[in-house]
Chain A
């Protein structure tokens, strides 16, 4: 199969749209359906998870394995890893001895290759690769906060049309700029979802039910980059939700010194909706580049809109708006 730089626009030409924002909205939907996993991929992932859940039960009868992260919320991109957590009645699975016990069990059952046991970390994990599908997996132990987050995200997705599309585009954008890895200061999946949801819920026309987010994804994507790339005061504000009503709000940093770990005022602080004392983005130290990339995406998108708006129909045919911010080299499908 041939590959192209913007594989999602093949056979989906919107160059005749009158409003450039509608063109972008349609292109976002095409992109999302392009990167969404096929039936075969979904079935392969489900079967990997099912087998592991059963076999971990065989190894440790009083423990239960669960999935969390992007697999549990259906917000994964092609090639994303699967996150699992093992929770036991005794709560003792995290000790070094038991980690090695599980890793050799998985190896003996031929359920894992390239196994790494990271026992000394703050969050001990076993990393490995599924031999059949080559999907990467991370197993952590006795921590239920990932499960709480997944539950909350699933609720947001059910009640917020357009959230899934916005998140997937922003996630893919961050991945293409290598800014999605928290180990090098990037923005994690949960933080990305919170920024998108918070933005949608605060939008003057969405919060007043004057418009529906899923019908305005084009303008909303540009305005997402406009808010976090140009206007939001990372120095002054904390991104938060009301504990009772779950509605979005900003807190003033100086009133919540316990949330602030960094001495640098230019730091992203996102209050954990399930744990008000926790800052979800404490590892996202590379805010400088994150903000710069959002600002750059805003500029690229609006310049592209201005160019295509005044271009002739002939020049518009087969063009991409999103292609400037997301270089996704992939199979045409």
Chain B
């Protein structure tokens, strides 16, 4: 119901798709490689970018503007999003 949906709010993500106890950040956590503090973009390995929805290499699937072909909705984002790149590449 509409009332139940309004109760769903995640303080970590500032989203209404899920509540605090069902936040993807609970499991989507990464153990990162140790990296030097200062980073020039030159040393950074560029990402492999392909869209899982349309196949373009200009964006990841989460940011695709075309109609989604998978019938399973993607409400809270996935691994394949520009926001999942290391900080200096976003």
What is the interface of chain A, defined by CB distance below 8 A to chain B? 19-22, 24, 201-205, 207-212, 215-216, 218-219, 222-223, 226-227, 229-237, 247-252, 295, 301-302, 305-306, 309-310
Count A/B pairs, Cβ under 8 Å: 133
How far, in angstroms, from A315 to B70 measured CA to CA in the complex?
A: 37
Chain A residues whose CB sits within 8 angstroms of the CB of B51 once the complex forms? 250
How far, in angstroms, from A295 to B70 measured CA to CA in the complex?
A: 11
B50 touches A302 (CB 8 A): no
- Interface readout for B35-55 with A: 1 if CB under 8 Å, 0 if not? 100000000111110111111
Total count of chain B residues near the partner, CB < 8 A: 40
Min CB distance B49 to A, Å, is: 8
Chain B residues whose CB sits within 8 angstroms of the CB of A204 once the complex forms? 47, 60, 79-82, 84-85
Q: Given the known A-B contacts A19-B29, A219-B29, A229-B72, are A203 and B79 also in contact in the complex, defined by CB atoms under 8 Å?
A: yes
B79 touches A306 (CB 8 A): no
Asked if B74 is at the interface (CB within 8 A of a chain A CB), the reply is yes
Name which residue of chain B comes closest to A207, CB basis: B48
How far, in angstroms, from A64 to B58 measured CA to CA in the complex?
A: 48
Instruction: Identify which of residues 48-90 in chain B touch chain A, using a CB-to-CB cut-off of 8 Å.
Output: 48, 50-55, 57, 60-61, 68-70, 72, 74, 78-82, 84-86, 89
Q: Given the known A-B contacts A208-B45, A230-B72, are A251 and B55 also in contact in the complex, defined by CB atoms under 8 Å?
A: yes
Instruction: Identify which of residues 4-33 in chain B touch chain A, using a CB-to-CB cut-off of 8 Å.
Output: 21-22, 24, 26-33
User: Would you call the interface of chain B mostly helix, strand, loop, or mixed?
Assistant: loop
B27 touches A250 (CB 8 A): no
Q: Given the known A-B contacts A208-B85, A208-B86, A236-B53, are A306 and B26 also in contact in the complex, defined by CB atoms under 8 Å?
A: yes
B50 touches A249 (CB 8 A): yes
B55 touches A231 (CB 8 A): no
Min CB distance A198 to B, Å, is: 10
Q: Given the known A-B contacts A231-B52, A250-B50, are A205 and B72 also in contact in the complex, defined by CB atoms under 8 Å?
A: no
Q: Given the known A-B contacts A19-B29, A203-B79, A302-B27, are A208 and B55 also in contact in the complex, defined by CB atoms under 8 Å?
A: no
Q: Given the known A-B contacts A19-B29, A21-B29, are A227 and B52 also in contact in the complex, defined by CB atoms under 8 Å?
A: yes
A231 touches B48 (CB 8 A): no
A22 touches B69 (CB 8 A): no
B78 touches A309 (CB 8 A): no
A236 touches B26 (CB 8 A): no
A302 touches B72 (CB 8 A): no
Min CB distance B82 to A, Å, is: 8
A205 touches B86 (CB 8 A): yes
Of the candidates A205, A222, A227, the one whose C-beta lies within 8 Å of that of B84 is A205
B28 touches A248 (CB 8 A): no
How far, in angstroms, from A226 to B44 measured CA to CA in the complex?
A: 27
A233 touches B70 (CB 8 A): yes
Chain B residues whose CB sits within 8 angstroms of the CB of A247 once the complex forms? 48
